[in-house]
Amino acid sequence: MIIDYKDINDLNRYKIMSDTVVPRPIAWIVTEDNGVVNAAPFSYFVPLSSNPPVVVVSIGQKEKDVPKDSLHNILKHKKATICFVNKDNTEDVKLCSTMLEKEKSEIEEYSIDVQRPLEDFPPMISSTQTALFCEFYQTVDLPGVTTPVILEVKKQYIEDGRLDERSHVHVDNIGRSGAFFKAMVDI
């Protein structure tokens, strides 16, 4: 079967692409605005380059012509902290997928513990085993309702004992495989 992408709508194109390009990491993108910490789960992102060290995340709209809080906050403050989900905090990230009003924080609403190891970046989820502290790099101008945002990784947190002598990271991250969560395991 050959599917011509011009013949299917945006939602079905997203489903087909996201169920095919697997596994993808699941992470919170933590941003802040006016004292409100936003922790939104994302699985539609990937590394783009290691020099410069950048990732790209596609951020949709809350509703027609209203950007999601993550996009608004990144464009306004130019910072984001990406906290990877692991087997111990999967239920917390599921809670955070509920759409809240902009002035409400998922952190407060669901009593998720955070810490701020770097004062100049949004906090990180305390239970994460690794987090990326990022600055806005640029957006990619594409037609449609999602905005691809390129974030440059400036610093990374790795839980003690998870980085070996050969610079391999050993974490229990959860990935997205189609509509399902999968534990990422060492091979």
Domain limits for position 139? 5-183
**Which residues on neighbouring strands pair with residue 37, listed in sequence order?**
32
Give the chain's domain count: 1
CA-to-CA distance for 14 and 17, rounded, in angstroms?
A: 5
CATH number at 124 reads 2.30.110.10
- Find the mean pLDDT for residues 59-66: 85
For the stretch 151-161, pLDDT in tens is 999 999 999 99
Lowest-confidence pick of 28-37, 87-96, 112-121: 87-96
Instruction: Using the predicted structure, report yes or no on whether residue 6 has a pLDDT greater than 90.
Output: no
Put simply, whether the predicted model's pTM sits higher than 0.75 gets the answer yes
Pairwise CA distance, residues 124 & 12, whole Å: 33
